[in-house]
């Protein structure tokens, strides 16, 4: 533009320096790479944990269902002889067996019940009684059944777990009083049956072993 007379010429503008390296025209975005990675990994860990819990729960439910299904259809019988024990078929033996069967049926809702007295050659008796039905909580029901043996002489004490043998379920033994002396009491329960036996004149260990023999001979599954 031509200068007007008397006008001071404009001072040339300072040159604008441009960096040699390229530069962004906008503010740099926040780097979320480090933040996203932990979140993604955390989500994976949570989902993996939930899946593991779900699979574990499914496995437990499946196993419980299989166990109930395999144990629920049981029968109990009183064979004439179990090892060295013979069924007492006398009037006194029969009436005692009937009493035990009736007492158990009055307290426990059973589909079928049995009661019997066995004796060895030395005259040592075994009082056996039990029944069959679908049992959802075998261990709890067995603990309750031990209370049936209690009388005015005392409750069953020292109840403890013993081997239930190949038929599974739970088996326990304890001690009650009979005519002032200790008498072992053992019982088993699974999802299809429950039974108790009293062993006057025997030790705890002998009674537990004999209970396994009684169970193997009296309990069957269909």
Q: Where are the domains of the chain?
A: 28-71, 74-221
How many angstroms separate the Cα of 190 from the Cα of each of 29, 85, 98, 180, 195?
A: 67, 24, 23, 32, 10
In the chain, the percentage of residues whose pLDDT exceeds 90 is 55
Q: Give me the pLDDT at residue 18, please.
A: 46
Cross-strand pairs, 172 = 161, 187
CATH-assigned architecture of domain 74-221: 3-Layer(aba) Sandwich (3.40)
> What's the confidence (pLDDT) of residue 211?
98
What is the per-residue pLDDT for 29? 52
Sign of the CA dihedral running 56, 60, 65, 66: positive
Q: Of 215, 174, 175, nearest to 192 (Cα)?
A: 215
Rounded-to-integer distance, Cα 173 and Cα 211, Å: 9
pLDDT of residue 48: 60
User: Which pLDDT tens digit goes with each residue over 55-83?
Assistant: 555 555 665 676 666 667 799 999 999 99
pLDDT of residue 160: 96
Walk along the chain (222 residues) in steps of 10 and give the mean pLDDT of each run. 52 50 49 52 64 55 64 88 96 94 88 95 94 92 87 80 94 91 94 95 96 97 84
Quote the DSSP letter at residue 164. Answer: -
């Amino acid at each position: 533009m031509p200068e007007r007379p008397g006008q001071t010429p404009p001072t040339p503008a300072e040159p604008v320096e441009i960096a040699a390296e390229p530069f962004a025209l906008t503010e740099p975005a926040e780097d979320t790479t480090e933040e996203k990675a932990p979140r993604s990994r955390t989500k994976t860990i949570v989902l993996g944990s939930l899946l593991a819990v779900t699979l574990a729960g499914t496995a437990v439910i499946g196993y419980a269902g299989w166990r109930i299904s395999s144990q629920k259809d049981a029968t109990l019988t009183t064979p004439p002889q179990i090892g060295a024990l013979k069924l007492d078929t006398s009037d006194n033996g029969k009436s005692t067996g009937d009493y035990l069967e009736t007492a158990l049926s009055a307290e426990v809702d059973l589909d079928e019940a049995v009661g019997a007295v066995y004796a060895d050659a030395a005259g040592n008796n075994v009082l056996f009684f039990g029944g069959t039905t679908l049992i959802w909580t075998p261990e709890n029901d067995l603990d309750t059944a031990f209370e049936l043996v209690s009388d005015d002489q005392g409750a069953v004490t020292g109840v403890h777990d013993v081997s239930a043998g190949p038929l599974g379920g739970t088996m326990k033994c304890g001690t009650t009083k009979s005519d002032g002396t200790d008498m072992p009491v053992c019982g088993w329960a699974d999802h299809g049956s429950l039974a108790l036996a009293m062993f006057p004149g025997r030790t705890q260990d002998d009674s537990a072993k004999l209970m396994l023999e009684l169970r193997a001979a009296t309990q069957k599954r269909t």
